[in-house]
Structure formats: C-alpha cells, structure tokens
Amino acid sequence: MRSNDEIIDLLNSIRMDKQLSISELARRVGMAKSAISRYFNKTREFPLNRVEDFAKALGVSSEFILGFEESQQPSTIESIYNDLDFIRKERVFKFAEDQLKEQKKEAFTIAAHSDDPNRKLTKKEFDDLNLYLDEADKKFDDK
C-alpha cells in the first residue's frame, strides 16, 4: 500500500493532469476546500475512508490510488462527463435524453411459427391473433 505522501503526490498529479483546481476537486468529493488543501499540503493525513470519493472524482480506481493496482482504470462515462464544462454537460444530457426517448419508441418484433407447415389457422385463432396484434400496436403507440 502507498504511504500517505505517495497517495497525496499521486492524487495531486492526477488532479493536475485533469486540470482540476482544488476547489473543483473539493466540490466533486463533497468536502471543504480547506480540508483538501491540508491533505495536499501534507499537514493532515489523507482520509482512507474517503478514497472511493476521490477515485470517483478523478476517474480512477481506489485500488490504483492505494497502490494495489499498477495502472489506472480507463475513464468511465461518469468521469468523462464530470470533466466537461457546464454547456457541454447540458449537450450530453440532452443527447442522452433524446437517445432514451428514441430507444423507448423502437419497434419490437413478434414472431410465430408452427412445427406443421400444413396447419391452417382457424377463423377464431386468426381473429385472436389480430386482436393481440392490435393491442400490441396500441401499447406501442402509447409509449
């Protein structure tokens, strides 16, 4: 496991690579800027119980921060989103909303087959099938 100084040096390096201010990191982690500053100034020990918060805010794994993994995890969509400015975040959110609406409207496939290719539907079976399809169409239109 990394020492306190190694953890702080690593976090500071990742923070600078991502061009995050201490204020922005504090906001993402949900801590006071003064507390974060004390960690980075090495006047207070890094709180190991908050490693997951820092990992999430910086887009790496907690195992990497602690030294149990040798390389950083690839960025998650959340970490990428968190690095965007406000206007770009709005665009991404709007795009995601539109994609979800479109997905909900996509058609679904209903298929049927018979093991007996010579079998014919009765009038009642045919009517029941049409009724089922009409109800499915209505449900789809209501989406």
Domain with residue 62: its CATH number is 1.10.260.40
Number of domains in the chain: 2
Domain boundary among 74, 90, 115: 74
User: What is the pLDDT, as a whole number, of residue 143?
Assistant: 58
Domain boundary among 27, 58, 74: 74
Give yes or no: residues 57 and 108 share one domain. Answer: no
Give yes or no: residues 68 and 115 share one domain. Answer: no
Domain boundary among 59, 74, 89: 74
Could you give the angle at the alpha carbon of 81 between the alpha carbons of 95 and 51, nearest 5°?
150
66-70 long-range contacts (CB < 8 A, ≥24 apart) are 66/1, 66/2, 66/7, 67/1, 67/2, 67/6, 67/7, 68/1
State which residues form the domain around 27.
4-74
Give the Cα separation of 141 and 54 in Å (integer): 45
| Average pLDDT of the chain to the nearest whole number | 87
> What's the mean pLDDT in 79-92?
88
Residue 87 inside a domain? The answer is no
Residue 84 inside a domain? The answer is no
> What's the mean pLDDT in 127-134?
88
Give yes or no: residues 8 and 70 share one domain. Answer: yes
Residue environment code for 28-52, b if the CB has 16+ CB neighbours within 10 A, otherwise e: bbebeeeebeebbeeeeebeeebbe
Residue 123: how many other CB atoms lie within 10 Å: 7
Kindly indicate the confidence band of residue 72, based on its pLDDT and cuts at 50, 70 and 90. low
